[in-house]
Structure 1
Amino acid sequence: MNTSLKLKKLAGISVIAFATMTAVNSASAANWRYAHEEYEGDVQDVYAYKFKEFIEENSDHTLQVFRFGELGESDDIMEQAQSGILNFVNQSPGFTGSLIPEAQIFFIPYLMPTDMDTVIKFFRESEAINEDFPKLYAEKGLELLKMYPEGEMVVTVDEPVTSPAEFDNKKIRVMTNPLLSETYNAFGATPTPLPWGDVYGALQTNMIQGQENPIFWIESAGLYEVSPNLVFTGHGWFTTASMANKKFYDGLSDEDKKLIQNAADYAFEEIITHIDGLADEALAKIQKASDKVTVTRLNEEQIELFRARAPQVEKKFIEMTGKSGEALLDQFRKDLAAVTE
C-alpha cells in the first residue's frame, strides 16, 4: 500500500473513531435540573450559576437553573427534588427543618458567631457541618453537597426595637420552622409563619409588623419599602445548602460524582468571595433608595437582654430532636470553640 493510500485510510479511521466517540459522549451527556429559593443575582442564584459553569466547562452535561417562583416555593422544589423531578435543589434549613429537625440548629440565637472570618472558617472545618449533616440528609433521600452562609440576619420592624419588651405584640413573620417560632417567642414577639410570596403584602397591610432576612435579600426584595426599620441583633447568620436527589446521585459514575463534588467546592469558594462586602453594599443601596430607613445596631448590653433568652430555644431544640440533636449541638460547640480559639 502506498503512503498516500495509507494516509487516506488512517484519516478515514480517525473520522469514524471521532464520530463514534462523539456519539458516545452525546449519549452520556445529560441535562440536569437545579432549583433554588432566590431571585436573579441573589446569593443562591450566584452559587447555582457558578455550579453550572463548572459542570458545563468540565463535562458534556448541561444544567438548567430555576429561580424562586418558576417551579413554586421552597416546599414545592424540595418535593420535586425528593421525587426525582429535580436533580439538585438549594434550600435553607429554615424550610428543611420540617424534614430534618436537626437542621433547625442554625436558628438557635447567638450560637453562631457574627464576624465573617470565623463563620467561613467554621463552615470549612466543622465536623458537624461536613460529617454529621450529610448522614442526616441521606436519611431523607438527599445527598448534601455543600452548606454555606449567605449573610448576617437582620430584623426589619415597623419601629426601631432595642429590647425584648419592645417586641411585645408585634407579629414577626417566620419561615415554616418550629424552632424559629420559638426564637421569636423567646424574643417577646408573636411568630407568624408565612410563605415567602405573602410577606411583602403582609408587611404593607400591617398584617405582620416585621420579618428577618440577610440584608442583601431585604434590598433585593424591596422589603425596606414596607418595613423600613432595620435592627442588627447579632443573633445569627442565614445558612443554606445545596443537595442532590440521592437516588440520582448514587446512580452516577464515579467520574460524574467527582465532577459534582468539585463543582460544589468551586461554587462555595466563589460565593465566599461574593458575599464579602455584600451586606455593606446592600445597606448603602437601601439608604440611597429611601430616606425613611433607620438602622439600629444593638450594643452589648442590649444584645445581652436577647441572648439571655437563648437557653429556652436550646431546650426546645433538644425536645424536638432528642439525643441526635443534643449530640449535634455538643459537636457544634466543639467546632465553634476550635475555630474561635
Structure 2
Amino acid sequence: MKKRDWLVITLAVLGLSGFASASHAQQVLRLGSIVAAASVQAQAMDRFADNVKKKNIGIEIRTFHGSQLGGGPEQVRNVQLGVQDMFMDGMVFWADYSDDMRIAETPFSFASREHFEKWVQSASFNNIREDIVAKANQRLINLGVTWRRGPFRVLVARKPVLNLEDFSNLRLRVWQSEVPTRFYGKPGLGATPVVLPLGDVYVGMLQGVVEGLTLPFDLVQPMKFHEVGKHIILWDEFWQVLPMSISEKKWQALNDAQRRALTESVDEAGRWYNDQLASSVVQWKADLVRAGATLHEVNRAPFAARIAERNRQWQKEGYWRPGLIDEIEKLR
C-alpha cells in the first residue's frame, strides 16, 4: 500500500477515535504542523488549543507537530479532502491554489517586513484568500494578528555564503514546490536546488546531500541545524506570517460564537508568539555563537536586483498576473 494511502487511513482512524471519545461533548479538530514540538511555533499552536479549551465552546483542538500528518503540501491537501481539519505553516504551501500566492515567499521581492505586511492586509491579498476557499476548500482564519515568523529568515550553510557567486555554488535544500526551485535555482539566484522534506534535512546536511537551507531563525536551534551548518547568514530573503487554515466545511458548520472563539484564541496565541520571538533574538544569537556557529551579514542589494529583474521578466511570460508586481511596488 502506498505511503499516501496509509496516511489517509491513519488520519481517518484518528478522526473516528476522536469522534467516539467526544461525540457527546466536543467536536475534535486536528491541527497539523511540520515544525518540531519544541519550537516556539509549536508551543504557540498548543497555546491556541489551550485558549480554545478555556472558552468552553464545545471544540477541542488536537495538535500534531513534526510532520506527523505529512509534509506541508500533503497536509494542505488533507484539509482540502477533509481527512484533516486544520494546518499552519508558511504561505507557499497554498500557492497551488492561487497563482498570486506564489510571490508571498519568494526571495527579495519585498523591501521590508512592513512592506510585506501591507500587502497581506491589502485588497490584492483578499483575492488570494477567496481563491483558497474556492479551490482548496479551506480558509485562512488568523490574519487579524499576524504571526511574524522567525521573526526573520536565515541561510544555514556548511560554508560561508556572502554573495551571489558563493550562492551559485551551493547545493540548497528547497521545499516541495515549483516556486523555490525557480527562484533559488539556476533561473533565479543560481543555486542547485535539492528537494528534501524538512525532517530529512539534518541528515542530508550531515552527509553532504545538501550544503545549506533557508528557514526562520526561531527553528535553527530546536531543529539543531547549527550542528551541521556552522555558518548562519542573516540575509532577510523574505518575511513571513503564518496562516492557519481550517476546512471550509468545518468552518461553515460552526456557529458564530465558535468562530469568534477560534479567531480570538489564535490571535491571543499569535501575540504570545510574536512577543516570544522578539524578546529572544539576542539570546538565540549568543547561544548559537557559544555553540560554535558564525553569524554573517550580507548585502541584500545584488540579490534583490537579480530578483527584481526576474520578476518583471516572468510577469511578461505570464507567471504572475499582469499588474501584480506594480501593485506590490506601490505599497512600498
Q: Same fold by TM (over 0.5)?
A: yes
Are the aligned partners of 2:184 and 2:190 in contact in 1 as well (CA < 8 Å)? yes
SS at match of 2:61: strand
Per the alignment, residue 10 of structure 2 pairs with none
Alignment of 1:35-114 (within 5 A): 35-58=32-55, 59-114=57-112
Alignment of 1:309-320 (within 5 A): 309-315=306-312, 318=315, 319=317
Matched, 1:262 2:259: no
Q: Which amino acid aligns with 1:226?
A: V
Q: Which amino acid aligns with 1:37?
A: I
Separation in structure 1 between the aligned mates of residue 183 and residue 115 of structure 2, nearest angstrom: 21
Query: Taking structure 1 as reference, are residues 168 and 31 closer, same or farther at Cα in structure 2, changes over 3 Å only?
Result: closer
Q: Deviations over 1:220-256 (max 9, x none)?
A: 1111111111111232123321010011111222222
Q: Which amino acid aligns with 1:179?
A: V
Within the candidate set 300, 303, 318, 2:300 is matched to 303
Per the alignment, residue 180 of structure 2 pairs with 180
Query: Taking structure 1 as reference, are residues 180 and 213 closer, same or farther at Cα in structure 2, changes over 3 Å only?
Result: same
Q: Which amino acid aligns with 1:145?
A: I
Are the aligned partners of 1:98 and 1:176 in contact in 2 as well (CA < 8 Å)? no
Query: Taking structure 1 as reference, are residues 320 and 199 closer, same or farther at Cα in structure 2, changes over 3 Å only?
Result: farther
Could you tell which deviates more after superposition, 229-238 or 273-282?
273-282
Structure 1 position 177, deviation (Å):
2.2
Q: Number of residue pairs matched? A: 302
SS at match of 2:201: helix
Per the alignment, residue 12 of structure 2 pairs with none
Are the aligned partners of 2:138 and 2:248 in contact in 1 as well (CA < 8 Å)? yes
Q: Which amino acid aligns with 1:305?
A: P
Structure 1 position 317, deviation (Å):
5.7
Matched, 1:132 2:127: yes
Query: Taking structure 1 as reference, are residues 329 and 168 closer, same or farther at Cα in structure 2, changes over 3 Å only?
Result: closer
SS at match of 1:40: coil
Q: Deviations over 1:83-109 (max 9, x none)?
A: 222221113123332343322212333
Per the alignment, residue 3 of structure 2 pairs with none
Q: Deviations over 1:309-341 (max 9, x none)?
A: 012442466356543xx455444334x43xxxx
Are the aligned partners of 1:182 and 1:316 in contact in 2 as well (CA < 8 Å)? no
Q: Which amino acid aligns with 1:101?
A: D
Per the alignment, residue 149 of structure 1 pairs with 148
Separation in structure 2 between the aligned mates of residue 72 and residue 109 of structure 1, nearest angstrom: 25
Structure 1 position 274, deviation (Å):
2.2
Larger Rg: 1
Query: Taking structure 1 as reference, are residues 100 and 269 closer, same or farther at Cα in structure 2, changes over 3 Å only?
Result: same
Q: Percent identity?
A: 18
Separation in structure 1 between the aligned mates of residue 95 and residue 311 of structure 2, nearest angstrom: 15
TM score, norm. by length of structure 2:
0.81
Q: Which amino acid aligns with 1:132?
A: N
Query: Taking structure 1 as reference, are residues 60 and 214 closer, same or farther at Cα in structure 2, changes over 3 Å only?
Result: same
Give the CA RMSD over aligned residues.
Answer: 2.6
Per the alignment, residue 158 of structure 1 pairs with 158
Structure 1 position 125, deviation (Å):
4.3
Query: Taking structure 1 as reference, are residues 261 and 176 closer, same or farther at Cα in structure 2, changes over 3 Å only?
Result: same
Consecutive unaligned residues in structure 1, runs of 5 or more: 1-24
Are the aligned partners of 2:33 and 2:67 in contact in 1 as well (CA < 8 Å)? no
